[in-house]
Chains A and B, each alone.
Chain A
Amino acid sequence: MALKFKSAKKSLNNGSVIEVKDLWKKFRIYHEKHQSLKETFLKRKRVSYEEFWAVKGISFSLSKGDTLGIIGENGSGKTSLLKILAHILRPDEGTYRTEGKVSALLELGAGFHPELTGRENIYLNGSILGMKKSEIDAKFTEIVAFSGLEKFIDNPVKSYSSGMYLRLGFSVAIKVDPEILLIDEILAVGDESFQRKCADKILEFKLHGKTIVIVSHDLNAVRNLCDSAIWIQDGCIKKQGPSEEVVNAYLAYINQGETASNQGSGAENFGTRHGTHEVEITKVEFLNAHSQQDDAFQTGGKFVARLNYVAHQSIENPVFGVAIFGSEGTQITGPNTKIDNRVIGSVQGKGYVDYIIEELPLLPGSYLFSAAIYDESCLHAYDHQEKMHMFKVKSGVGRMPQGTIQIPCQWKFGDKMAESDLKR
């Protein structure tokens, strides 16, 4: 017995800390929920219900230090999968193994009792999350400081505002020290600054080599935080791979759905904008080789996008980014100053940043353009103008190939045509 257990552990050690094999989970949807003894015992007829498979044969494995994002539409089975990993739900078929201490942050402030004080609830909530008393003792001051609730810590939490409640819950939650962290959508609660704190903390976990699984609708966070991602659709894995690829595929799928549903309205969809506006993009200008404003460019010509910004306060190392989309919504490129290792330093007041392409490889057509300013971690948007701008590429000299992009290439013919050498 002991030997068997050891060998199982060893095989797990060799790389993966989470191993999920062909997981299936079904729920019963009762047409009429009978929860009384009389109905069950007297009516011999079975209660009518439908079976619904929430998770259908999902397999994956994660190595220590990996960060996995799980994305997908509502009701696709993401949370069920996470709950299985957290031992809350039992799968109907398949196996899963996790190694090391697992902490699941599915709800902030779980088990808080309104009548108890903040202090008492920290201990209660901490122990619910699996922390030892000595651990909580050691981290208590930090927890209180992080929550910023020093003054209220001895008041019952029922007197807290919902924001304070959340902050306290989060401050405890981030002090758990698991090897595997499972997070469900808590990034989505709270105000912007709270969300940023959240993201920073997760980044810190990541730096400490923890294995993290995040279920999120915040695709940007998934893109930036996660190494790999899984897109779940109707309980099955639709796509699995590097987070960038998976998120893009998912976005393309969603956009497709949106275009389909938008058809008929005919109107041009002029994007969306979000962010906290400490620094704003006031104007995006497209400039040609002569530094003149233009909205039609030539393949192979110079293309400059000038992002005019105004910073209402001093901002340390903001990251400027742009993205170009084809008319079908496919993203063609999406660079930012962080990826390209350009550090701007602190900005304040007005200024501009140029995104320069010396030889535009785009083929004739219409293109949508996004511009954004993010904080240093690329998680918090100051101003994100998604597909709010547009430019055209017009036909240049000579015949153009079909498609969206011109890729430099060469042709070479093999030498099997001996009689007439076609080589130029």
Chain B
Amino acid sequence: MFQKISELWEYRELLFNLVKRELKVKYKRSVLGFLWSLLNPILMTLIFTFVFALILRIRIPAPSNADVPAQFLFPAFLLSALLAWNFFSVSISVAVNSIVGSSNLVNKIYFPREILPISTVLANVVNFLLELLVLLVFLAVLGFKFYLYLPFLPLILLIHIFFTIGVCLIVSCLNVYFRDVQHLLGIILLIWFYATPVIYPLDLVPERWQGLPMHSLLKLNPIAAIVLSYRDILFYAKFPEFSVMIYATIISISTLAFGFFLFNLYEPNFAEEV
């Protein structure tokens, strides 16, 4: 494990360059460049606000410590979790192909293969941070007091990144052996999205449903724990539930460790399988 980490460290420049490549290629030859990646969350917010706030009349109670115009409550509520979810889901759907799609590299050159999915995640981190920055400006203008607990945001981000890398390592590795992982993933992510309280507040979910403890079940979803922590800090300006944080940390680190383990186990055969 330590050997692997030190090897990854040795290849940090390659990692850095691949991240750069991914970002550059993404915005090359487009006039709006980075603005395109803002367009997606904005559009999603408009649609979800229209459907859920206007038609279905979901009312989001304003956080006690902020005085915010009512019509902006739902968009702010949504975005404080949606961006985090998007980072997770986009990273995975790109990373699943990172090994298979780079067969020309995997076949011809040695480097730690982990670099491929990790660079995808890191490129998306950069995107996510930029989006987050825009969101913070938006929230500040509206009068949210997110700065109270902002120093804890990097911690959540770290847990979030660990979990995402862990999942990406697993799916990119499995996809080498079973190409339908990439197709399956679209469906799984759709279910996972609705199983995570991004567009609805947890309070709307009945505590018990058909004898199932729904709240506890939803909180078992590690990405829900992470996404809710973002919302606690950004929207509610309160410290996330401590037990939830601990749970998310443990799950993230175990997922990352398992991801590395699985990846390491199968990595030596990648060159012949892709």
Binding site for B on A (CB under 8 A): 27-28, 35-38, 40, 83, 86-90, 102, 104, 106-107, 110-111, 113, 115-116, 120, 123-124, 127-130, 132-133, 156
Contact B24 A116 (CB under 8 A): yes
Chain A min CB distance to B51 (Å): 34
B52 within 8 A of A: no
Q: In the bound complex, do residue A128 and residue B111 qualify as a contact, i.e. CB atoms below 8 Å apart?
A: yes
Contact B110 A87 (CB under 8 A): yes
Residues of B within 8 A of A106 (CB): 107-109
Q: Can you report 19 A-B residue pairs in the complex whose CB atoms are below 8 A from each other? A: A28-B272, A36-B179, A37-B180, A88-B107, A88-B109, A102-B110, A106-B108, A110-B105, A110-B109, A111-B104, A113-B21, A115-B24, A116-B24, A116-B28, A127-B13, A128-B14, A128-B111, A129-B109, A133-B13
Among residues of B, the one whose C-beta sits closest to the C-beta of A125 is B17
Q: Find residues 83-125 in chain B having any chain A CB closer than 8 Å to their own CB.
A: 104-111
Q: Is the CB of B268 within 8 A of A90?
A: yes
Q: Are B178 and A88 in contact (CB under 8 A)?
A: no
A128 to B20, CA, bound (A): 13
* Chain A residue with the shortest CB-CB distance to B177: A35
Complex CA gap A128/B14 in Å reads 6
Q: In the complex, how many residues of chain B place their beta carbon closer than 8 angstroms to a beta carbon of chain A?
A: 29
| A residues near B107, Cβ cutoff 8 Å | 88, 106
| Chain B residues whose CB sits within 8 angstroms of the CB of A115 once the complex forms | 24-25, 28-29
Tell me if B184 counts as interface (CB < 8 A to partner A).
yes
**Nearest chain B residue, comparing its CB with the CB of A41:** B178
Interchain CA distance A103-B181 in the complex, whole Å: 34
Q: Are B108's CB and A107's CB within 8 A?
A: yes
Distance in Å: Cβ of B170 to nearest Cβ of chain A: 14
CB distance B17 to A127 under 8 Å?
A: yes
Q: Which residues of B contact A107 (CB under 8 A)?
A: 104, 108-109
Is A104 a contact partner of B109 (Cβ separation < 8 A)? yes
12 further A-B contacts with Cβ under 8 Å, apart from A35-B178, A113-B25, A130-B14, are: A27-B272, A37-B178, A90-B268, A104-B108, A107-B104, A123-B17, A124-B18, A124-B20, A128-B14, A128-B111, A133-B13, A156-B28
Among B18, B24, B110: residue with most chain A CB under 10 A: B110
Is A35 in contact with B104, judged by CB distance below 8 angstroms?
Answer: no
Q: How far is the CB of A91 from chain B (nearest CB, A)?
A: 10
In-complex Cβ contact of A111 among B24, B109, B269, B272 (8 A): B109
In the complex, A133→B20 CA distance in Å?
13
CB < 8 Å: which of B16, B17, B28, B104 contacts A110? B104
A36 to B181, CA, bound (A): 8
A86/B269 in contact, CB under 8 A: no
Contact in complex: A89, B272 (CB < 8 Å): yes
Chain B residues contacting A110 (CB-CB under 8 Å) are: 104-105, 108-109
